[in-house]
Structure 1
Amino acid sequence: MLQEINYRSLGKRRILVAEDTSVNQFLVRRIIEGWGLEVDVANNGQEALTMVQSGEYDLVLMDIQMPVMDGIEATRHIRQLPQSGKATVPIVALTANFLKGDREKYRAAGMNDFLPKPFNESALFVVVSNNLQQQGVPIKPKQPLRVERPVDGELYDLSSLRGMSGGDEKFVNKLVQMYITLSGESLLLMKEELKNGQYDAVGKLAHKMKAPAGTMKIAGVKDIINRIVAVPLEDASVQLPDLVQQLDKEMQYCLGRLRVEFPD
């Protein structure tokens, strides 16, 4: 029989989270600090490299796609540091777009492990625990205090988020408000980039929106985002205008419902 995970079993550890999306930063920090660990956040790979050089960390959670310097390049630089303790720090890739062959690419860059986004608390704990050389931990997620019924036929589902929050509605409300702000800003930027024919930038913005939509379990939004991310650059001028229009319509409806349920 699987045993409940002891989330306070890792002792005093210091974790660096390299992630450029505010919603993901807020969520991961909250989860890890709940285990009794210390957390620092880097907004891009360059910041992560600088912080590893100047600080002492037991593990780095490294997003792959970030501005200034991506996670793979940052990992390569860390592995070349002259201090052996810093150069060998465990690095776990966080990615919302895991493709065939990516595991080998991450390993070749010097990463120890990977975790697809979005993830739940138990999956994050197991990968962190394993890479801190702790004994293997059987996965048994904590049960949410109450189950959230999807609104409007699967529009969104916050039950997993509430489970990770331990029933802290203030935390859930703050994360939802951050999601509303981030999504609104990203959507405006996406439409502007599309208007200017910057199709690669449209894809990058969609990728940035992917994990938060997964965390919120917004199935309709996530499906359109996945389709935008998958559009080949040579087909972008034909396919993206309709997809971005679909995303705009679905996102505005979803954000409207969230604003009603979670008034600022």
Structure 2
Amino acid sequence: MGLSICKNLIEMQGGSISVESKYGEGTVFHFKLPYKIGTTEMLAQEEQAPENYSLIGEKRILIAEDVELNQFIARQILESWGMDVAVAANGRIALEMVQEQHFDLILMDIQMPEMDGIEATELIRKLGDTRLANIPIIALTANALKGDNHLYFQAGMNDYITKPYTEEKLYSVLSKFLPANPLSVAPVVEMAKPSTRILVEEGISLSNNYVEEGLLYDLTMVRQIGKGNPDFIGKMVTLFLEQLPSDISKLKEYSQKDEWESLSKLAHRMKPSIEGMGIHSLKTIIRELETRSRNNESIHSSELKKMVAFTCETMEKVLVQLRLEFPK
């Protein structure tokens, strides 16, 4: 398994791998990658130069994702690059759309209802039309656990991105599989930050240190993704607030009924939103809830219930604070 993954990764980068083996002596593996040797000066220039995201624009991308908030983030970023974006709410719909429409790349969430990303990818790779079967597929996952990535490659995915992700991270992965647009010569323009006047009018806190002021969230990542656009920030907060009461209610219900598998799946789905909204006090706890509930640690149910209670209490406070800062 490990050698197969190594071979795929190296060949995806245009390289090659070979082996020499002698019985009783050992085995030596050689690989070549077509990269130029860099210099300190080149590294400094690369760090200073902002990415021109439009270089891979004008491509058609399919987002297979069931969470509306995650759909909105991905679509907002890709469309700002000049991409034509379509959305599928689960793997089954994605499989149908791939056979009916042209796409240059698929962003495939792993956990979705009806058909997950792993199964959808495996079925796409088995399609009779090689053009469709070979379309680049990038996994979107809230799992940062080592060892999970081999499942994605084994299913036929080309790469993966851990949620929540930055615009730079998304571009660095997609640019490996999407050829640059030779006609795209638009200059790189750094987005101006919104003025203090606009921020005040939109009800956005001007403080950089949310924790010290008592707020339980930090919208730094949201502002970075939206390039300070108040409409984007407002939409993100609205989608989060619409989903939050239901998530809190389900957490309490699953905890009361000892439905730990359902609670684990819910915690997994909530992770990107909690991290993206900067609710730092819950980042570790929500991961613990997902892992320990999935492992069916019923003997520690009292401890898990305390973690759920703390999570719900914190989320309810966040709900109130966000509604105060972003009134309808």
TM over 0.5: yes
2:193 to 145, 165, 169: 145
Offset, 1:21: 0.9
* Matching of residues 43-192 of structure 1 within 5 Å: 43-134=89-180, 145=193, 149-153=208-212, 155-192=216-253
Offset, 1:11: 3.4
Contact 1:144–1:163 (8 Å) recurs in 2: no
Q: Which residue of 1 is the match for residue 76 of structure 2?
A: 30
What CA distance in whole angstroms lies between the structure 2 residues aligned with 1:150 and 1:63? 33
Contact 1:221–1:247 (8 Å) recurs in 2: yes
Question: Any gaps of 5 or more consecutive residues in structure 1?
Answer: 136-141
Residues 45-98 of structure 1 deviation map (CA, whole Å, 9 limit, x = unaligned): 111111112111100001111111111111001101111111110000111112
Offset, 1:107: 0.7
Against the structure 1 CA distance between its residues 205 and 160, is the aligned structure 2 distance closer, same or farther, given a 3 Å change threshold? same
Question: Any gaps of 5 or more consecutive residues in structure 2?
Answer: 1-44, 182-189, 195-205
What CA distance in whole angstroms lies between the structure 1 residues aligned with 2:261 and 2:111? 13
Q: Which residue of 2 is the match for residue 216 of structure 1?
A: 277
Contact 1:29–1:39 (8 Å) recurs in 2: yes
Contact 2:121–2:157 (8 Å) recurs in 1: yes
4+ residue runs of structure 1 moved beyond 6 angstroms?
none
What CA distance in whole angstroms lies between the structure 2 residues aligned with 1:36 and 1:5? 14
Contact 1:144–1:162 (8 Å) recurs in 2: no
Indicate the structure (1 or 2) with the bigger Cα radius of gyration: 2
Residues 177-232 of structure 1 deviation map (CA, whole Å, 9 limit, x = unaligned): 11111122112122222223221001101111100111111101222211211212
Q: Whose RCO is larger (CA < 8 A, sep 6+)?
A: 1
What CA distance in whole angstroms lies between the structure 1 residues aligned with 2:288 and 2:225? 28
What CA distance in whole angstroms lies between the structure 2 residues aligned with 1:239 and 1:86? 48
Aligned residues: CA RMSD: 1.9
What CA distance in whole angstroms lies between the structure 2 residues aligned with 1:217 and 1:206? 16
Q: Which residue of 2 is the match for residue 260 of structure 1?
A: 324
Matched, 1:251 2:315: yes
Contact 2:139–2:161 (8 Å) recurs in 1: yes
Aligned amino acid, residue 151 of structure 1 = Y
What CA distance in whole angstroms lies between the structure 1 residues aligned with 2:230 and 2:211? 21
SS in 2 for 1:263: coil
SS in 2 for 1:12: coil
Offset, 1:143: 7.4
SS in 2 for 1:257: helix
Contact 2:79–2:85 (8 Å) recurs in 1: yes
Offset, 1:114: 0.5
What CA distance in whole angstroms lies between the structure 2 residues aligned with 1:110 and 1:178? 32
SS in 2 for 1:126: helix
Offset, 1:133: 4.2
Q: Which residue of 2 is the match for residue 139 of structure 1?
A: none
Structure-2-length-normalised TM-score: 0.74
SS in 2 for 1:125: helix
Structure-1-length-normalised TM-score: 0.92
What CA distance in whole angstroms lies between the structure 2 residues aligned with 1:80 and 1:176? 40
Aligned amino acid, residue 320 of structure 2 = G
Q: Which residue of 2 is the match for residue 233 of structure 1?
A: 296
